[in-house]
């Protein structure tokens, strides 16, 4: 596994092209989360102010005191980050954890539990992850909370790796690429086109059912970890107009992967393309090669891993070509509409509680779309239509979980 040269273009059946770039900022690159957020509600994405990330603590606080009211509920986002960090520690080469210790923690449950109890806290401090160290300290105040939030998910992860003989080849792999259209990308409108810059990070790259030292056997897989599959609003009862009360808003857990998860994994399919080994093709052409033909059907698996219960779901679109083209079309239209500044409040969204001060006419904002101009609103509606076509191709298969020993 290695990244392709910046000078190479990957051509996918003359439908679209991918190129790894050095500086994604000149492309005004976007991430999956930005595109998904804009698809859900343009107003919230455009109008929200970017929050600066909280600065990491310079040093670990010496005063430690339990809460007067008990441990309380742990922060789900912090626990998810802690699980990601722990998995990265167990697989990162030349990291804080020696290779021998990594092998022991991945092979023996008692060694993994002992590491979490005794060593993880100090390693997080050594790496400057003070906030995560404090989160771990808070979890350690209550043995049951620590077991439910950290130990049990990691033991399930350890057992799954051991029983499936899966090789992990990369963790936290950053990507930055340029996705370019061709005259065949928009089948009914060859004059439309351009490029979209994408940035992000792959949680984990595996080789499933193969040898541990090479990609020559087995199937590579992209694994995206989730603390849970998310929550959705559940509204019960109608609003009492006379009293002015709003309907009660409750939340219920999502039990199956959603179209947003599928969108994320398919974008990661595009990102993985910059990691294929193209050395042989370049060597045959004696370095005089600028474009490599690629196939849409590839031996690459897309897997969603749920930390909550250890369940895994593989994305298997009913038609890969249709799914990719629909998603790419959706991404292009979203990118054009978003960068034009177009925003409106999505129905039944939280932002509907606050009305905008002014509203522009629907066709006031025009977007340059290749050789033509389109209203930004039409771009957004075309993106929604393309996403509906992508959604129709989504198929999930739940993978069997390893049996308890």
Task: Please compute the mean of the pLDDT values over residues 25-43 and round it to a whole number.
Answer: 92
Distance CA 372, CA 193 (A): 10
- Quick: pLDDT tens for 356-370: 555 666 567 888 888
Token pair listed for 371: 């050789």
Distance CA 47, CA 51 (A): 12
Listed in sequence order, the residues at least 6 apart from 281 whose beta carbon sits closer than 8 Å to its beta carbon are 289, 292
Query: CA 259, CA 330: separation in Å to the nearest integer?
Result: 13
Q: Is residue 177 part of a domain?
A: yes
Distance CA 133, CA 129 (A): 6
User: In this predicted structure, what is the pLDDT of residue 150?
Assistant: 95
Q: State the CB neighbour count (10 A cutoff) for residue 238.
A: 8
Taking residues 188-205, report their average pLDDT: 92
Residues of the domain holding 324: 9-47+74-234+249-399
Report H helices in 141-189: 143-146, 152-164
Residue 152 backbone phi and psi in degrees, to 5: -65, -45
> Distance between CA 303 and CA 310 in Å, rounded?
12
Measured CA to CA, the distance from residue 362 to residue 137 in angstroms comes to 53
Q: Does 56 fall in a domain?
A: no
Average pLDDT, the chain: 83
> What is the pTM for the complete model shown?
0.85
> Residues 282-337: pLDDT tens digits?
666 655 677 888 999 888 999 999 998 899 999 999 999 999 999 999 999 999 99
- Given a cut of 80, is residue 278 above it in pLDDT? no
pLDDT recorded at residue 62: 58
Beta strands 366-369 and 372-375, pairing class = antiparallel
Indicate the number of domains in the chain.
Answer: 1
Q: What is the pLDDT of residue 80?
A: 92
Alpha carbon 387 to its chain centroid, in Å, reads 17
Q: 207-260: per-residue pLDDT in tens?
A: 876 444 444 457 899 999 998 876 666 655 444 444 444 455 565 666 789 999
The answer as to whether 350 is a domain residue is yes
Q: At residue 170, what are phi and psi to the nearest 5 degrees?
A: -165, 145
Q: Which residue has the tokens 């925003």?
A: 343
CB-CB contact of 211 with 217 (8 Å): yes
Distance CA 393, CA 60 (A): 49
Q: What is the pLDDT of residues 129-138, one digit of tens each?
A: 988 999 999 8
How far apart are the C-alpha atoms of 206 and 227, rounded to whole Å? Answer: 19
Task: Report the range of poorest mean pLDDT among 46-55, 135-144, 207-216.
Answer: 207-216
Distance of CA 251 to the CA centre of its chain: 23
64 within some domain: no
pLDDT value, residue 232? 65
Average pLDDT over residues 104-117: 95
**3-state DSSP: the chain helix, strand, coil percent, rounded to 5?**
40, 20, 40
Helix (H), strand (E) at residue 78: helix 76-91
Q: Which residues pair with 170 in a beta bridge?
A: 205
Residue 14 lies in a domain: yes
- pLDDT of 156-166, one tens digit each? 999 999 888 78
Does a structural domain hold residue 62?
Answer: no
For residue 361, the model assigns a pLDDT of 63
Q: Of 230, 274, 273, 279, whose CA–CA distance to 255 is shortest? A: 230
Cβ–Cβ < 8 Å for 112, 158: yes
Number of H helices, E strands in the chain: 13, 13
Query: Which has the higher per-residue pLDDT, 195 or 249?
Result: 195
The answer to whether the CB of 267 falls within 8 A of the CB of 200 is yes
Rounded to whole angstroms, the Cα distance separating 146 from 62 reads 22
Asked if 105 and 168 touch (Cβ cutoff 8 Å), the reply is no
Least confidently predicted of 123-132, 347-356, 373-382: 347-356
Q: What angle do helix axes 259-272 and 376-392 make, rounded to 10 degrees?
A: 90
pLDDT for position 284: 66
According to the model, what pLDDT value does residue 344 have? Answer: 83
In total, the chain counts a number of residues equal to 405
């Amino acid at each position: 596994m290695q990244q392709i040269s910046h000078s190479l273009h990957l051509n996918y059946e003359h439908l679209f092209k991918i190129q790894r770039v050095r500086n994604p900022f000149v492309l005004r690159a976007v991430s999956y989360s930005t595109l998904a957020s804009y698809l859900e509600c343009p107003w919230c994405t455009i109008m929200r102010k970017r929050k600066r990330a909280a600065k990491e603590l310079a040093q670990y606080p010496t005063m430690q005191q339990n809460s007067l009211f008990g441990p309380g509920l742990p922060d789900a986002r912090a626990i998810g980050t802690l699980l990601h960090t722990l998995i990265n520690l167990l697989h990162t080469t030349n990291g804080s954890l020696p290779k021998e210790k990594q092998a022991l923690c991945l092979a023996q449950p008692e060694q993994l539990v002992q590491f979490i109890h005794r060593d993880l806290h100090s390693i997080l401090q050594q790496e400057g992850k003070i906030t995560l160290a404090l989160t771990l300290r808070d979890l350690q105040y209550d043995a049951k909370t620590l077991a439910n939030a950290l130990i049990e998910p990691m033991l399930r992860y350890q057992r799954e790796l051991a029983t499936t003989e899966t090789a992990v080849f990369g963790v936290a792999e950053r990507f930055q690429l340029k996705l370019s259209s061709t005259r065949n990308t928009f089948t009914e409108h060859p004059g439309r086109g351009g490029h979209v810059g994408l940035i992000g990070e792959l949680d984990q790259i595996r080789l499933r059912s193969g040898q541990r030292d090479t990609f020559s056997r087995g199937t590579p897989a992209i694994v995206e970890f989730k603390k849970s599959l998310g929550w959705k609003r559940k509204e019960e009862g109608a609003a009492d107009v006379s009293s002015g009360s709003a309907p009660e808003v409750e939340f219920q857990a999502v039990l199956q992967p959603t179209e947003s998860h599928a969108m994320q994994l398919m974008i990661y399919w595009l990102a993985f393309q910059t990691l294929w080994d193209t050395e042989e093709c370049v060597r045959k052409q004696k370095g005089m090669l600028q474009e490599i033909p690629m196939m849409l059907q590839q031996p690459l698996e897309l897997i969603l891993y749920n930390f909550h219960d250890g369940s895994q779901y593989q994305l298997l679109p009913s038609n890969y070509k249709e799914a990719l083209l629909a998603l790419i079309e959706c991404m292009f239209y979203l990118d054009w509409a978003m960068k034009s500044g177009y925003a409106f409040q999505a129905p039944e969204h939280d932002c509907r509680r606050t009305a905008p001060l002014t509203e522009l006419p629907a066709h006031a904002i025009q977007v340059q779309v290749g050789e033509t101009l389109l209203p930004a609103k039409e771009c957004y509606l075309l993106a929604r239509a393309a996403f509906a076509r992508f959604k129709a191709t989504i198929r999930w298969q739940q993978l069997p979980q390893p049996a308890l020993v």
